[in-house]
Amino acid sequence: MDEPRGKEYTGPSGIGRDSIWLTQEDLIEGKDVSVKIESVILYPEVTFQAGRKRTNLLGLKFVGKDRILGLNATNRRALAQQFGNLAAAWKGKTISLFVTDTQMAGETVKCVRIRNKGARAATAAEQLLDGVDTDPLGLGSIDDGAGESQAQ
């Protein structure tokens, strides 16, 4: 019988898990990882460890990555805050993932979070004005003398 061939590995231990789901084991604690959202997938029903079921789970598939990040409420809200609440708007966006602590069933556990880099979703007014010529007379802006411009 031939011995399996392998090579030395020094990365995150999560590679040894047989799962499609991205967890904190797949990331290095203390280091953000930038990923580009390839698609948002809706899973009508998922069964996790110990038989726990979840309906209508959204998952993020990332460009060039095998694992999928199942979205909990915290990460779903972070995406909605940055890019709006339509999942179609998330596709193609680059986000940063990081490992942090959270409370679950009365104990502190590690989890993956989406870092809010200060971006925010456009307001309804901004969405309405997107593509609308807000300077139809070509007046531009006026320098107020202090190096700041003000619209006429």
Q: Lowest-confidence range among 77-86, 101-110, 142-151?
A: 142-151
Q: What is the pLDDT of residue 142?
A: 47
Q: What is the pLDDT of residue 49?
A: 76
Q: Which residue has the higher pLDDT, 150 or 66?
A: 66
Q: What is the pLDDT of residue 152?
A: 44
In a domain, 63, yes or no: yes
Q: Mean of the pLDDT values across residues 25-49?
A: 93
Which CATH number characterizes residue 21's domain? Answer: 2.40.50
With a cut of 70, say whether residue 109 has pLDDT above it.
yes
Its domain, for residue 50, covers: 13-133
**Percent over 90 (pLDDT), the chain:** 56
Rounded to whole angstroms, how far apart are CA atoms 12 and 15?
Answer: 7
**Percent over 70 (pLDDT), the chain:** 77
Per the structure, the count of domains in the chain is 1
- Here the tokens at position 108 are 């502190």
Q: Which residues contact 35 (CB under 8 A, 6 or more apart)?
A: 62, 63, 65, 94, 95, 96, 97
**Model-level pTM?**
0.70
In a domain, 139, yes or no: no
- Here the tokens at position 53 are 């079921």
Q: Which residue has the higher pLDDT, 145 or 40?
A: 40
Q: Mean of the pLDDT values across residues 83-100?
A: 95
With a cut of 50, say whether residue 143 has pLDDT above it.
no
In a domain, 103, yes or no: yes
Rounded to whole angstroms, how far apart are CA atoms 113 and 101?
Answer: 9
User: Which of the given ranges, 71-75, 116-120, 128-132, 146-150, has the highest pLDDT on average?
Assistant: 71-75
Strand partners, 110: 101
In a domain, 49, yes or no: yes
